[in-house]
Amino acid sequence: MRGKLQRTWKIMDWPGLFLAAALIAFGVVIVKAATAGTRMAALGERQLFYGVSALSLLLLVLFISYEVWIEYSAIFYGICVLLLIIMPVVGHSVAGSKSWLSLGGYSLQPSEVAKVLAALACAGYIKDLENRTMEKRDFAILFGIIGLPMILTALQPDFGTATTFLPMFAAVFFVSGLELSKLAKWAALGLASVAILFAIGWFTFFRPYQKERVLTFLDPSLDPKGAGYQVMQAKIAVGSGQFTGKGLYSGTQNRLNFLPAPYTDFVFGVVCEETGFIGAGLLLALYMALLLRVVSAQELAKDPEGRFLAASAFFMLLYHILINTGMVVGLLPTTGIPLPFLSYGGSALFSMTMMVALALNVRMRRYSV
């Protein structure tokens, strides 16, 4: 056992570990800055606990081979799906969505855990494919593995979190080996399906506040004191930081409560206002470096299941970054999708930490250990 730990320590992906740890630490600092001096100040201390826990989880996932995680994934995936099924009964409601489970004073969002388990379950199925090729039946099964928890999450209803399963569909196509022309056809079909589902949702299960978010994205001036307020104040926060920022704990948009949800959905606004272009640039550079590290993991993976895990981590991380930052600067509608490693909360932090750790795990074990 000691020898195996020593060998694992020797092949540790130190650059990847440093990048993930730096982002986690960045998140703790920004959440504390966003909540200090307010009635939510205790959340800063809680985020420190989440950050330390995420670092521990990062090391745990790295030390256990991704092949072991895949081996037991089906069991945990099944348990998580059952939990999602009963969430409308046992879950407690936050912002109209019964997606949270109370555990001794802390809350867990099973749908975040489901993303990691769905990726592992798909990797397990890919591992058992004959001749390592995908047929239509295989695509259907993989889409079912991803789609089931996605649909259950949407029914909670939590449409924002449900969309974060979409990057895994892209990962399936990426590792499928299909020709570019076929990929283009599937992509067009997927976009058409999303458009149809959006249209159906608009006239059926979309709630009024969700429709308002879309309409005010198109024109924030329609309701500057209501739904459009978030977008307009976020833009002000981003621009007011200028080059060097106003300093930690000194952002007026944040301090004077103009910036909505400064420690969750709009935490990037706090980064821009208080650390300026320099801080925002550093954050984006860390994201870029981590994304490149995950890409290299996909390229160096020794098997298709490893490539799929790394691809899933890449697309998921990229999706969260683009959607959240795009929302804050007004390029995309407001959603509840957190900024990876930065937004307050344990569930999203732990799920993203696990996905990134699995990709780094694949890179570490590109040779037999």
Prior bond to 157 cis, omega within 30?
yes
pTM of the model: 0.87
Q: How far apart are CA 54 and CA 47, in angstroms?
A: 10
Order of strands across the sheet with 106-108?
A: 92-94, 97-103, 106-108
Two structure tokens written together for 126: 């890919």
Q: How far apart are CA 142 and CA 14, in angstroms?
A: 32
Burial of 189 (0-12, 13-18, 19+ CB in 10 A): exposed
Q: What is the pLDDT of residue 82?
A: 94
Q: Are 130 and 282 in contact (CB under 8 A)?
A: no
354, 356, 302, 359: which is closest to 117 by C-alpha? 354
Q: What is the pLDDT of residue 218?
A: 55
Q: What is the pLDDT of residue 186?
A: 62
Q: What is the mean pLDDT of each run of 10 residues along the chain (369 residues)?
A: 70 93 96 86 90 96 94 94 89 74 79 95 89 79 94 84 91 77 64 70 64 58 59 80 86 77 88 93 96 95 93 96 90 84 93 97 81
Q: How far apart are CA 363 and CA 190, in angstroms?
A: 30
Name the residue with tokens 């990134």. 356
Q: What is the pLDDT of residue 327?
A: 86
